[in-house]
Amino acid sequence: MSKKGNLETLCVQKGWEPKKGEPRVVPIYQSTTFKYDTSEQMADLFDLKASGYFYTRLQNPTNDIVAAKIAELEGGVAAMLTSSGQAASFYSIFNICEAGDHFVSAASIYGGTYNLFAVTMKKLGIECTFIDQDASEEEISKAFRPNTKALFAETIANPVLSVLDIEKFAKIAHSHGVPLIIDNTFATPINCRPIEFGADIVIHSTTKYMDGHAVSTGGCIVDSGNFDWNAHKDKFPGLTEPDPSYHGLAYSEAFGKGAYITKATAQLMRDLGSIQAPMNAFLLNLGLETLHLRVPRHCENAQRVAEYLEKNDKVAWVNYSGLPSNKYHELAKKQFDGGRSCGVVTFGLKGGRDVSIKFMDNLKLACIVTHVADARTCVLHPASHTHRQLSDEQLLEAGIQPDLIRFSVGIENVEDIIADIEQALNA
């Protein structure tokens, strides 16, 4: 379990501890396959009797080294990397839900996750009820049914930037005997460790701040080891009852706190194969080594940008929890280290949608890209890009104003970023 204060050391060193004569830097195990001496040794791996590598579709040493670092950063007991954040979201639910099951999710979540939950999971027979995360415990509890298996939300929602009251959500989930799954992509463990507030499973799109340089797509799932699957045996037969695809092995019995990640690896990764390439895990690790330096700088710059925008009379509204005027300001101060949330700011310009688009076209340093949370300042207009299939009414229902500009503040000189905004506002 990581302690507050040593995250910097974990970022730089955790996961790979070389022995005498071994490479100082995490090696890339660019091999699909691993050698054994006897047939029996290999058979024991297939039976999960012994642990070891046999085929990279299931597990690879480079990936496991990097996953171990993220597990430590989040204060969890086990973790796995996936090929993308989408795969991490899907596995986190599908590992405990099957056809006929139900789960509850906050409505203001990443658009790709919303689609996965509302449309694709439904085709698999798994239903999701979306709730307003700011509603009362009683109101949210009404969404739970006897077949509900999980509660899901984002620490800081992309792109709405609502801040989740994680303790409230943990209380609701646990009172219904289900785990709380948190997407911690925007906050990162540098600003918030959801497990400390009661989350059971934490997931990431590592594509964003963790990679930080926009070079590799990836995801991660971390298990706190805190949820007692056996206490709710009837709800989670996939973890507590014998698995016929592993000769009657029951994960919770055989692997204890490692049950959830072992099942996700042995079953889901085996059958669905969304493994992260070892080369990408290596690149992700380079990003992680400076995460503790980059994230505070992203937040400092975003704070300055938000303050500048709030004072500018061409700006209609600004949404950033670092501003005292923001409705989530107190919650952010309580839950996030130093009150820091993330580097993303949203705002709208007076004159609405068309003025917002013109402003974006005039930016020079900030580029229009379908990405957030990397070193370079970038910008997106959800109504014209990621959410362009929605009408203005549907946009508002999703909490996205038609004039909303999502501004992902990078780690360039903040005066340069503000100067770019200023020249585009005046153009």
Structure tokens at 331: 């919650």
Q: Does 105 bind ligand PLP (CB under 6 A)?
A: no
Total residues interacting with ligand PLP, rule: CB under 6 A:
17
Q: How far is the CB of 82 from ligand PLP (least distance, A)?
A: 9
Cβ 191 to ligand PLP shortest distance, Å: 14
Among 62, 63, 108, 113, binds ligand PLP (CB under 6 A): 113
Which residue in the set 2, 60, 63, 86 belongs to the binding site for ligand PLP (CB under 6 A)? 86
Under the binding rule (CB under 6 A), the answer on residue 74 touching ligand PLP is no
Pair type for strands 201-205 and 148-154: unpaired
3-class DSSP state of 34 = coil
Q: Strand (E) positions, 145-240?
A: 148-154, 180-183, 201-205, 219-223
Of the ranges 47-55, 97-105, 108-116, 295-303, which one interacts with ligand PLP (CB under 6 A)?
A: 108-116
Which residues 121-140 are close enough to bind ligand PLP by CB under 6 A?
A: none
Q: Report the C-alpha gap between 59 and 406 in whole angstroms.
A: 36
In the 8-state DSSP scheme, what is residue 109? S
Point out which span in 85-93, 122-130, 278-286, 309-317 binds ligand PLP (CB under 6 A): 85-93
Give burial (CB, 10 Å; 0-12/13-18/19+) of 40: exposed
Show the site string, 53-72: x = touches ligand PLP by CB under 6 A, - = not.
--------------------
Q: Nearer to ligand PLP by C-beta: 49 or 388?
A: 388
Tell whether the torsion through CA atoms of 56, 62, 68 and 73 is positive or negative: negative
In the chain, count H helices and then E strands: 19, 12
> Whose Cβ is closer to ligand PLP: residue 207's or residue 301's?
207
| Shortest CB 91 distance to ligand PLP, Å | 12
Q: Are 345 and 407 in contact (CB under 8 A)?
A: yes
Positive or negative, the CA dihedral 3, 5, 9, 12 is: positive
DSSP run (H or E) holding 347: strand 344-349
Q: β-strand 148-154 against 180-183: which pairing, if any?
A: parallel
112 sits near ligand PLP (criterion: CB under 6 A): yes
* Distance from C-alpha of 274 to C-alpha of 328, rounded to nearest angstrom: 35
Taking CB under 6 A as the rule, which mask of x and - marks residues 189-228 in contact with ligand PLP? ----------------x-xx--------x-x---------
Q: Is the peptide bond before 382 cis (omega within 30 degrees of 0)?
A: no
Q: Does 154 bind ligand PLP (CB under 6 A)?
A: yes
Closest to ligand PLP by CB, 104 vs 157, is 157
**Does 84 sit near ligand PLP (CB under 6 A)?**
yes
127 vs 183 by CB, closer to ligand PLP: 183
Across 187-234, the runs of DSSP E, i.e. the strands, are: 201-205, 219-223
Of 105-113, 134-142, 174-182, 390-398, the window that binds ligand PLP (rule: CB under 6 A) is 105-113
Of 364, 403, 413, the C-alpha closest to 383 is 403
111 binds ligand PLP (CB under 6 A): no
Taking the least distance from each CB to ligand PLP, the nearer of 176 and 294 is 294
For ligand PLP, the closer of residues 164 and 414 by Cβ is 164
Residues 349-408 touching ligand PLP, rule: CB under 6 A, are none
Q: What are phi and psi of 11, to 5 degrees?
A: -55, -45
Q: Which two tokens stand for residue 327?
A: 């409705």
Closest separation in Å from C-beta 120 to ligand PLP: 13
Nearer to ligand PLP, 219 or 382 (CB): 219
Among 92, 185, 265, 377, binds ligand PLP (CB under 6 A): 185
How many CA within 13 A on the CB side of residue 285?
27
Contact between 110 and ligand PLP per CB under 6 A: yes
Question: Segment contacting ligand PLP (CB under 6 A): 81-89, 164-172, 251-259, 303-311?
Answer: 81-89
User: How far is the C-alpha of 253 from the C-alpha of 256, rounded, in Å?
Assistant: 6
Using DSSP, state whether 350 is helix, strand or coil. Answer: coil
Nearest CB to ligand PLP, comparing residues 86 and 319: 86
Which residues on neighbouring strands pair with residue 204, listed in sequence order?
Answer: 220
Nearer to ligand PLP, 109 or 418 (CB): 109
In sequence order, the 6+-apart residues with CB closer than 8 A to the CB of 142 are none
| List of residues contacting ligand PLP (CB under 6 A) | 84-86, 89, 110, 112-113, 154, 158, 183, 185-186, 205, 207-208, 217, 219
